[in-house]
Amino acid sequence: MLTPPSAPECPSASSERCSRGAMGLSSAAGGRPCDAKDFGHGSLVCACSATYCDTLDPLVLPAPGSYVKYESSKAGKRLERSEGSFQHNTKSPGIEYNLVRVPMASTDFSVRLYTYADAEGDFELRHFNLTEEDTHMKIPILQAAQAVAKRPLSLYASPWTSPVWMKTNGAMTGRGTLKGSPGDKYHRAWAKYFIRFLDEYAKHNLTFWAVTAGNEPTAGEIVFYPFQCLGFSPEHQRDFIAQDLGPALANSSHRHVQLIILDDQRVMLPYWAEVVLKDPVAASYISGIGIHWYLDFLAPIDLTLSITHHLFPDYFLLSTEASTGSYFWEPRVVLGGWDRGSKYSHSILTNLNNYVTGWTDWNLALDMEGGPNWSKNYVDSPVIVDSSKDIFYKQPMFYHLGHFRFHPRGLTLEHSAFLRPDGAIVLVVLNRSPTDVSFGISDPRAGFIEAVAPSDSIQTFLWKQPA
């Protein structure tokens, strides 16, 4: 096993003092152990540099009658692997993300404000052009990710704002929507903007699984947002899709691209879905409903997602954005914050158990401040990069997400089970309590497992059933 290099000093800009955790380096973290550092926030980060980073061993399922377990904990375990028996080698590249949200032009996490068609009155979008952010960053990164992925990536695109000459307020930020009304030249031009984006990315061999009708349409419609937004009411979105965006997609070479509505807080459900999907023309162009997690505390899951699924079972639900450290009363970046990883797992498990088919983190990697972000709307991230030291830290969030790589897509213990395409069974168990919890796993065909979920831990069990 390789020995990690000596840990670098803590960032000098931080007022906190850091040191190796009491556990030091966990030798069971995988092919290479975690280079653990403790920044005093209750859990550890794993430091990575150009020359060293912890990795997982290849996933090899045990013979029927045995199981494999992966465990991460607040105390310091990071996807630690162990095996056991029921009672009576291809190297993995890592977490294996397969769902990628791609912004159409700038967001608050850009370093500047821009769109692809800034020429005033260019209704035919003759001056539509991708920017260097696309050609030098997004596109090469997506191509590199696809090159190492074991299966095709599902890309979906979301716009934050239209060009300002199309907007009622003449600005990318603040309260404003499209000029005119659905079916007119402004709405037709905005629909064409989607098609042109898909055209340009296709030239780079990047095709999209889906697009959303727009990021957080309530921003700019109901509230004043200090960053890029384009307001829509559900009625406005319904009519825009029925008259403009839906036909534009259907009549283009991108007719296979699926269309997702809402892309906003689940507190808007089921009302938003009822307004849009009860129109048969709009509904005929739509495949799914996107949700964000920021106001989940105002929206009980059974009164939002479950009701929406039962009202409209033919439309998938997809979690399209989540991030921690986003509330004004919270610190932005917390290196080693176990609770933030636990929040991710809790959200994923409860969503998957309420008809949601996928879950998207907003930013996989950010800097030590929680950016870059032109509007200073900083948040936390599973990977935090300290470019001044050429090092990055894999947060507890990273490892919580890693426990969901194994499936195909009240009580203190939360759990969810899945059946993999290869026939293996996967069980994810989350313990958010400060005490250890004993529990049992019963599979009538395989046997029984007596198990313990340590305090503040997440575990993944995998096994094959006997033939």
CB 118 within 8 A of CB 163: yes
H-helix or E-strand spanning residue 418: strand 413-419
Catalytic residue among 321, 330, 414, 450: 321
Of 80, 216, 221, 414, which one is the catalytic site residue?
A: 216
Reported for 273-276, long-range contacts at CB under 8 A and 24+ positions apart, including other chains, are 273/308, 273/311, 273/312, 273/315, 274/311, 275/234, 275/235, 275/238, 276/234, 276/237, 276/238, 276/241
| Residue with the two structure tokens 């948040």 | 379
Identity of residue 146: Q
Structure tokens of 149? 């992925």
Q: What share of the chain is helix, strand, coil (3-state, %, to 5)?
A: 20, 25, 50
Active-site residue 330, yes or no?
A: no
Q: What is the DSSP letter of 368?
A: T
Q: Which 3 state secondary structure label does DSSP give 245?
A: helix
136 Cβ contact partners less than 8 Å away, ≥ 6 residues apart: none
Q: Let me know how long the chain is.
A: 467
How far, in Å, CA of 443 to CA of 87, rounded? 11
Q: Which two tokens stand for residue 434?
A: 């400060």
Q: How far apart are CA 307 and CA 319, in angstroms?
A: 16
What does the alpha-carbon distance between residue 216 and residue 429 come to, in Å, rounded to a whole number? 32
- Compute CA distances 69 → 30, 299, 343, 461, whole Å: 12, 34, 21, 5
Give 428's DSSP letter. E
216 is catalytic: yes
Q: Comparing C-alpha atoms, which of 158, 157, 116, 153 is closest to residue 133? A: 116
- Annotated catalytic residues are 216, 321
